[in-house]
A and B are shown apart, each in its own frame.
Chain A
Amino acid sequence: RKEVEQDPGPFNVPEGATVAFNCTYSNSASQSFFWYRQDCRKEPKLLMSVYSSGNEDGRFTAQLNRASQYISLLIRDSKLSDSATYLCVVNFLYGNKLVFGAGTILRVKS
């Protein structure tokens, strides 16, 4: 079983749609959780951290369910510029080592 699993997609959605991505992780001792965004042929960049109580940043909402070892990202009112690969990322407690999921591809079309 992979340490961090994501649906690879692609998710093809029209502008203005709401889309949700899910991610599961295998290590119950994981302490920190993130969503990174990676544009085509670019480096990954931090989109947002994920907190236990859930958190929102504009059109983006992240949720964490520790019991189910499940993380989600919700994007409302999708924009063309949201088209990218979204990487689910988990810190497995020791040091600063992050484990990246394979990513979910989002394509927003006009």
Chain B
Amino acid sequence: DAGVIQSPRHEVTEMGQEVTLRCKPISGHDYLFWYRQTMMRGLELLIYFNNNVPIDDSGMPEDRFSAKMPNASFSTLKIQPSEPRDSAVYFCASGKAGVADTQYFGPGTRLTVL
């Protein structure tokens, strides 16, 4: 079975540009999570969805960040406008309710904002 799929794998953009990261969770999983990882702050949860509904977005750093999940097989994380401090690896993970809270991570998107 395919794991969590993320695209693009690498993104280099200039400050002020809009960035859209994409995620396809594992089929049948009802939870989807967006994380950001940096050397300074480690792995931080940004937002998570249950059955396509945002449950907790308290980790979203500011209004420049938004996330959507229009259906069970697709989610986006958008940054507009992007800033150099947004440079990080962004992971998407999915999980299935009742299975010991195990989360399966995608390969990540390495974002560099110049």
Residues of A near any B CB (own CB < 8 A) = 32, 34, 42-46, 49, 87, 91, 95-103
Complex CA gap A98/B100 in Å reads 11
Chain A residues with CB below 8 A from B91, complex form: 43-44
Complex CA gap A34/B102 in Å reads 9
Complex CA gap A10/B100 in Å reads 29
- Asked whether any CB of chain A lies closer than 8 Å to the CB of B114, the reply is no
A95 touches B55 (CB 8 A): yes
Chain A residues with CB below 8 A from B45, complex form: 97-99
Q: Separation in Å of the A6 CB from the closest CB of chain B?
A: 10
Interface size on B, residues (CB 8 A): 21
A32 touches B105 (CB 8 A): no
B31 touches A96 (CB 8 A): yes
Complex CA gap A49/B50 in Å reads 22
B56 touches A98 (CB 8 A): no
A32 touches B107 (CB 8 A): no
5 residue pairs A–B, Cβ–Cβ below 8 Å: A43-B91, A44-B91, A91-B101, A96-B97, A99-B45
- Asked whether any CB of chain A lies closer than 8 Å to the CB of B108, the reply is yes
Which chain B residues in 33-87 approach chain A with CB under 8 Å? 33, 42-43, 45, 48, 50, 55-56
Among B43, B48, B55, B56, the one with the most A-chain Cβ atoms within 10 Å of its Cβ is B43
Q: Separation in Å of the A32 CB from the closest CB of chain B?
A: 5
Among B31, B97, B102, B107, the one with the most A-chain Cβ atoms within 10 Å of its Cβ is B102
Q: Separation in Å of the B112 CB from the closest CB of chain A?
A: 14
Query: Known contacts being A43-B105, A44-B105, is A96 close to B43, with CB within 8 Å?
Result: no
A97 touches B105 (CB 8 A): no
B42 touches A103 (CB 8 A): yes
Q: Separation in Å of the B10 CB from the closest CB of chain A?
A: 11
B48 touches A100 (CB 8 A): no
Contact among B31, B102, B107 for A46, CB-based, below 8 A: B102
Q: Separation in Å of the A105 CB from the closest CB of chain B?
A: 12
